[in-house]
Amino acid sequence: MQTNYDVLIIGSGVAGLTCALHLADHLHVAIIAKSQLSEGSTFYAQGGIAAVLDKKDTLASHIEDTRIAGAGLCHSDTVAHVVKKGKSAIHWLIEQGVAFSVAEHDFPYHLTKEGGHSHRRVIHAADTTGKEVESNLEKKVRQHPHIHVFEQHIAIDLITSHKLYKRQDTPNYCIGAYILNTNNDTIITFQARCTVLATGGASKVYLYTSNPDTSTGDGIAMAWRAGCRVANMEFNQFHPTCLYHPKAKSFLISEAVRGEGGKLLLPDGSPFMSKFDPRAELAPRDIVARAIDHEMKRLGSSNVLLDISFKGKAFIQKHFPNIYQRCLTFGFDITQEAIPVVPAAHYTCGGIMSDLHAQTDIQYLYAIGETAFSGLHGANRMASNSILECLVFAKTAAEHILQHLHLNTTEHIIPSWDASRVTDSDEEVVVSHNWDELRRFMWDYVGIVRTNKRLARAKRRIDLLLHEIDDYYGNFYITSDLLELRNLATVADLIIQSAQQRKESRGLHYTLDYSSTVEDSRYDTVLTPHNFT
């Protein structure tokens, strides 16, 4: 089966939906969603969106805060591009019906302050900002006659001119993608004049993560296999505070809790963050996560505590209604007691290399949001810059597509997916076993604190897994679990390779063998694929 669209968008978070809405008045757009349209990292984002909205704040201040958090690796042109468009991006969301929390005093909206920010500039919808944004954009998308949504569909691989025509002496350009419909296990050929990757990050490569199950690095892995460079994959952000409870799967305790005065405490109730950074709880996430990791290992403790109870019940219920209710379901009344928390993998700062128009190395292929490496985050993402990046680059990509799509008039005859030489697997336990092994050794060896020996162990294991997965992939019918495992293994290898290349500690990459930051190492870790598969 084959279908044709002007633009194929793979991913349905804020980046993908925003791009679709900016395009759909002029073009026919298809959106591929792995699960339900709203199921992704955006929906679960709690904190908010950073933008200069207060007259006391300045663009220069937001730019400088981002640069400092990025530990010297932020691209100045990207930072300026994103920050300057922050206010208009927020106004666009308000036009779409997003209801942000209202302030009690002068400015109409309540702004909070999070780690790394020197001003209150994080606009939010209580503590469910992502849900508010995603729900409103989803409503608009479903109502638009030129947007076609394909839920329960997962991308297998991109279709490029180099692959299709088996020649590499001409520029490589994207023609579409093969997509698996998981409702009936059929594979559809989506041909598109432009393709946009908005697939999110890869934090499910780690055993403990704040991300939903969809965050398996699909876009990064597909782009790598198609011939795109990736950069800075060693910088994996670990959110300092996820709820520690055996049944609280991936439940994040927003950084806004610390922004409003929440204190991190040892199990005996004593504070500890001031020992690690003068900004204490408001230090950037990499510092806070390492401090918590250090104290847990020093004490042999399974968690630390986060206390906001001193703010009072009325304040907590108003500012953190979702966190309050969810914690109650697990037996914690945060108005009366501290919350047990642990760090968890949260955000992929590296990704597919893209320019200021969101273009990748492959013509007619764009990457936006967490799957992309735009240069905004450097070695560490500052809190609440992520949705801002999605909004800005989704619009930027849409504008570039509208201006240049007329240049792509080539028609292609694309062969259907060939599954004639594969069979049903009677050993699907291999997939689940490899999935578990991968996430465990990534957590143990390529986590918050690294060493050369740990990375070498991880590299040996990933090489074996990649060979095993490739053999399995070539012999049996594909499933969504196999596709995600294949993508996670690819991304894990990219993370390990990148971490081995960086001979210093910087931002989110901390290694005991090179514990200091080297001034001469202000460069991006760029990986270039040698073979396109």
Give the Cα separation of 72 and 66 in Å (integer). Answer: 10
Strand order in the sheet with 372-373: 372-373, 351-353, 230-231, 526-527
In the DSSP assignment, the letter for residue 428 is: T
Question: Which residue from 326, 367, 362, 322 is spatially nearest to 348, judged by alpha carbons?
Answer: 367
Question: Which residue from 360, 341, 311, 282 is spatially nearest to 114, judged by alpha carbons?
Answer: 282
Tokens for 162, please give them: 């180099």
Can 285 be counted among the known catalytic residues? Answer: yes
Give the chain's radius of gyration (CA, Å): 22
Tokens for 206, please give them: 């780690």
Tokens for 476, please give them: 């049996």
Greatest extent of the chain over all pairs of C-alpha atoms, in Å:
68
Cα dihedral 448, 450, 455, 456, rounded to 10, equals -160
Question: Which residue from 36, 41, 40, 22 is spatially nearest to 144, judged by alpha carbons?
Answer: 22
**From 285, 450, 502, 506, the catalytic residue:** 285
Neighbouring C-beta atoms of residue 443, cutoff 10 Å: 17
Give the Cα separation of 166 and 162 in Å (integer). Answer: 5
Which residues are known to be catalytic?
Answer: 285
